[in-house]
Amino acid sequence: MEIKRTMKKSENMKKIQIVAVILMSMLTFSACDINDTLDQDVIVGNMAPQVYWEVASSTVTAGSNVPFTAQYYSTSDAKIDHLEVWYNMREQESKTVNCPWTTSMVFNFTSTTSVEKRISQKISEYPHLETNWSDALSAYTFTATFPTSNTLASISWIKPTSFDSTKMVSYFGAGFMQHFKDSLYSKMQAVDFQKMYQGLNLVSNFKIYLDSTFNNNTGKYDYHFPADANGNMPVPDAIRVIYQSIPFPDLIMNTSNANYEVEFSRSYSIDANLKAVDAKGVVGTAIKTTISLN
């Protein structure tokens, strides 16, 4: 009896094991079916047309047409329908203002920016022609141009010999000149005031505003404003008042070169793409080319 019971138990175990294996197999297969990582994580697209282009020049005059040569072919059974040139537009600005009077430090304002000002968009379209085929290249090829806008001509105002406050405000903003003047004042030392005031003929004898201390390291006298009771060396009132009367252009005037130490340039560039579109609407894109406009 005991033996029979044991055998029956064993048979039951086997059945359970077989059922478990079947269940596990079903689970595994169904899991495979559901968790198809390729299907879930990868978008399998269509074969896109192959397209290559060369732009004749990486710098062109704004408003001119940009010549290019294209090569393309289809890698699927769909024929090429047409080609398109797309580009965005970036604006680059560079600004520098320098005060040439300072000797204790270099005081200048510098700013360089590059910002996308227009998104990429279709500029021109070219029909696909069977006559474009080249046996030598085993590809379709053609030469054409795409347009650029006259409005994107570069602007530059570099160390002008005459100061134009309208341009200064337009290029640097309304509050810039006062901000520059205030910042400069906070950094200037006695020697800087001395050089500026003498250069601009604002005082006849600057030394009356100065005190001096012998510098054992250099073996010379260091000139500075007189110290107050706390040991600070504030800018004398007379010097401060004169500074307030100095017009901004004088702060940046380079008397040696007879010009003003201000530089502004604004230019534009485009990131251009050539796209080949096949009959199914599948798009192949050539490598991006950056073109500067002047």
Partner 1 sequence: MNTIQKIKYLGVAFVVSLFSFSCIDELPLVENLPNPDVAFTYSVIDNTYQIDYYVGATVQFVSRSAAQGTCSWDFGDGTTAEGTTVTHKYAVAGTYSVKLTVSGSGSLAQNILISDIRPIMKLNPIDGGLCEVLSTYVSFNVELPNPETLTEEYNWTFPAGTLDESGAAKESFVGKDPGKIKFSNVGSQTVRLKVVLGGRLLEESTLNVQVAYNSTVPTLYYAVKTGNIMALKLVGTAPVGMQINPFDLGVKSGQHPLNILFNDTSLYVLDCGKQFTYVNDVDGNQGDGRITILSKDGGKVETMLTNIGAAFDDPYYGYIESNKLYFADRNTGFATIGLSERNNSFSRVSYPYYVQNATLGYYGQGLSFGAMNAGFGKINGVWYWCKTYNGNGIFRFTDADILPAPITGNGVLPASKVALDGMSPKSFVWDSKNQVLYFTIYDTGYEGLYRCTLAQLNAILSRTDLAPYKLTLANGKTVTPITEAGKGEGAAGEFIGICQLALDENDGSVYFGLRSADATVKSGLMRYNPASGKIEYVIQGVEVYGVAVNKTKSKLF
**Interface with partner 1 by CB under 8 A: which residues?**
56-59, 61, 63, 89, 91, 94, 96, 106, 115-119, 121-123, 147-153, 156, 158-159, 256-259, 263, 265, 267, 292, 294
Query: What's the closest the beta carbon of residue 250 comes to partner 1, in angstroms?
Result: 18
Task: Provide, rounded to whole angstroms, the least separation between the CB of residue 126 and partner 1.
Answer: 16
Using the minimum distance from each CB to partner 1, give the nearer residue, 106 or 229. Answer: 106
The Cα–Cα gap between 109 and 175 comes to: 14
Minimum distance between the CB of residue 61 and partner 1, rounded to whole angstroms? 6
User: Shortest gap between Cβ of 253 and partner 1 (angstroms)?
Assistant: 13
Amino acid (one-letter) located at 102: T
Give the length of the chain.
294
> In terms of CB distance, is 1 or 119 closer to partner 1?
119
User: In what helix (H) or strand (E) does residue 251 lie, and over which residues does it extend?
Assistant: helix 248-251
Print burial letters for 15-25: b (CB count within 10 Å at least 16), e (below 16). Answer: eeeeeeeeeee
CB closer to partner 1, 199 vs 236: 199
Encoded amino acid at 138, one letter: S
Pairing, β 283-285 against β 289-293: unpaired
Residue (141 or 149) nearer to partner 1, CB: 149
Give, to the nearest 10 degrees, the angle between helix 237-245 and helix 190-199. 50
Kindly state the tokens that stand for 120: 């990429």
Nearest distance in Å: CB 244, partner 1: 27
User: What's the one-letter identity of residue 289?
Assistant: T
Q: How far is CA 217 from CA 85, 105, 174, 211, 232, in A?
A: 68, 20, 45, 18, 22
The span from the CA of 262 to the CA of 127, in Å, is 49
In angstroms, what is the minimal distance from the CB of 168 to partner 1?
16
- Judged by beta carbon, residue 76 or residue 165, the one nearer partner 1 is 165
Nearer to partner 1, 194 or 267 (CB): 267
